[in-house]
Amino acid sequence: MRISRAVKGTDKVGGQLAECRELAERQGYEVVPGAIYEDDGISATSGKTRPGWEQLLTDVEAGQYDVLLAVEESRFHRGVGDQQRLVVACLGADVTWHTVRDGIVNPADAAGEFLATLRAAMARQEVRRKSERQASGIRAAREAGKLVGGGVRPFGYLKQKKDRTKAHPVEGPEVTWAYAHVVAGGSLGSVARRWNDRGIKTSRGNRWGARNVQQVLLRVNNCGRYSDGHGRIREGVVGGWDALVDVETWEAVHARLHDSTRRLVPLSDPVWLLSGIARCVCGETMRTGNIKTASGDHPTYRCNLTKVTGAPGRHTTARCRELDALVRDELVRAVRDAATSAVGNVADGSPARLQALLETRRGQIRARLVELGDDLADVAIPRAMTRDAIAKLTAEQDDVDTQLRDLRAQSAHAFLVADLHAKLWGRADGRVSLMDAADVTRVLGERFDALELRQRQELVKAFLWVTVLPGRTPDRLVVKRLADLQPGETPEVLSYP
């Protein structure tokens, strides 16, 4: 026998088995021990393999039975294809079937084959109609702003089905924080680390990884809207459940996570603050690597040009920990001084909307550049025109990248100097004490250390210029504040002995 789907709390298989045994007793059939075929919970229309059904056909073809029993014919099949397989197997073994609802069917005669085929077609029609009714009901529910669908509980919402419109008291705020963190330049890996450290599990009870976090943040329902089926917001319909994030922030995160230049960095990747930021005396940026000594391995900044054979000029190195600590302290002092002079808060309010527009435009530019690259191989398109278009788009992309860097630096800067103005300038006499300044330096340092690495790097690039000179003395590590440059002076032209 076959069952289309399991119902929690209902023994449908047991009920059908009892009816079939009563039929066998009335008709005088001898039930073969163990000849009961069940596919509990596997629908005939799902396309999944049904072990019980396949074994039944095998045993029928082997000639083990004379009559097959079921509650109704649709328990055997729900389509003409499976019905024909059953007919062929029964014809070869001279088997009939007898159901509680539909009586005896002998596929060997014309009437039996006709009735079996007709019932299979009617069963298939009913399945299609049921599917159409369900689809129509889902569309109507969505138009009314109702939450539809089952499956695994969406992370950030309550577990009970009737309460899935309500935000989870712990997970909901964490999802909201994750959006703000990513918009401000934070990584998916840092979100995963935070949740793992706090003992927060996925909806399936597993640990978090960057890809799990990405799936959660790209879910359209989080902003109280429906998806259009392609991962974007469906316009014109507002959901009737708690939104964990506003639409503008969701769009900003969506644009950033769909940037084709991004890659998901494994949580264990070692990264240093000044990689790609610190400059060799030759003017080239520096990369990180390990230098082996008798005392062990030492992470070290090295000039990128040292990878080029025969690169002329002097090139320098610096220990990562030493230089990072120096730059960290100088940056904290630079931000403190800016706050002390009451000019440090450069970012009041959220730049989420502007960032969303910039991220979207950046993606459009990159997609167009790919198309233009293909056009260069097409002899029918003038190459000069294509090259001009590539040059213009590349320049625009550079401008967009600069604006995005500025926005990320502003977000991190705003976090650092939040409420410090009130602390510094809130005294009745309007003066700043040394005790206040020392306390501010400590707080700024703690906040800087709490930032995601990318945010710290953006702050360094916004405030400082770091150069490593030849030699072994501490003064070879030169850290300049960009705010101290003279009008018209640029850090690239600074010269050192």
Could you report the per-residue pLDDT of 321-365, keeping only the tens digit for each? 999 999 999 988 888 877 665 433 333 445 556 666 777 777 778
CB neighbour burial string for 318-337, b if at least 16 within 10 angstroms, e if fewer: bebeebbebbbebbbebbbe
Are the C-beta atoms of residues 156 and 168 closer than 8 Å to each other?
yes
**Using alpha carbons only, what angle is made at residue 118 by residues 116 and 123, rounded to the nearest 5 degrees?**
95
Higher pLDDT, 170 or 373: 170
Q: Give yes or no for residue 216 having a pLDDT over 90.
A: yes
Q: List residues bridging with 167 in a β-sheet.
A: 157
Are the C-beta atoms of residues 270 and 254 closer than 8 Å to each other?
no
**DSSP designation for 157:** B
Region 48-73: what's the mean pLDDT? Answer: 84
Region 212-224: what's the mean pLDDT? Answer: 91
Give per-residue pLDDT as tens, 77-122: 666 677 778 888 888 888 888 888 878 888 777 777 777 777 767 7
Region 411-440: what's the mean pLDDT? Answer: 56
Higher pLDDT, 353 or 366: 366
pLDDT band at 133 (very low <50, low <70, confident <90, very high): confident
Give per-residue pLDDT as tens, 247-302: 889 998 988 888 755 555 554 444 788 988 898 888 888 888 888 878 778 899 98
Q: What percent of the chain has pLDDT over 70?
A: 70
Residues in the chain: 497
pLDDT band at 176 (very low <50, low <70, confident <90, very high): very high
* Full strand arrangement of the beta sheet holding 464-468: 279-280, 464-468, 477-481
CA 249 to chain centre: 15
Region 151-177: what's the mean pLDDT? Answer: 80
Q: What is the mean pLDDT of the chain?
A: 75
Region 228-233: what's the mean pLDDT? Answer: 74
Domain range annotation of the chain = 12-143, 161-257, 279-493
Q: What pLDDT is attached to residue 270?
A: 47
Question: What is the pairing mode between strands 279-280 and 225-227?
Answer: unpaired
Q: What pLDDT is attached to residue 77?
A: 67
Q: Which CATH class is domain 161-257?
A: alpha beta
Fold agreement (12-143, 161-257):
no
CATH number of this structure's domain 12-143 = 3.40.50.1390
Beta strands in 5-152 (DSSP E): 67-70, 96-99, 103-105
Q: What pLDDT is attached to residue 374?
A: 66
Region 386-409: what's the mean pLDDT? Answer: 77
Helix H, strand E, coil C: the string for 223-285 is HCEEECCCCCEEEEEECCCCCCCCHHHHHHHHHHHCCCCCCCCCCCCCCCCCCCCCEECCCCE
Region 14-36: what's the mean pLDDT? Answer: 85
| 202 burial via Cβ count (<10 Å: 0-12, 13-18, 19+) | middle
pLDDT band at 196 (very low <50, low <70, confident <90, very high): confident
> Is 494 strand, coil or helix?
coil
Q: What pLDDT is attached to residue 379?
A: 58
Report which of 328, 303, 336 is spatially closest to residue 444, judged by C-alpha positions: 336
Q: Give yes or no for residue 44 having a pLDDT over 80.
A: no
Residues 6+ away with beta carbon under 8 Å from 2: 37, 38, 39, 44, 50, 52, 53, 70, 75, 76, 77
Dist CA 121 CA 96 (whole Å): 19
Six token digits for residue 80: 């003409």
Q: How many other CB atoms are there within 10 angstroms of residue 239's CB atom?
A: 19
Region 187-202: what's the mean pLDDT? Answer: 86
Region 437-452: what's the mean pLDDT? Answer: 80
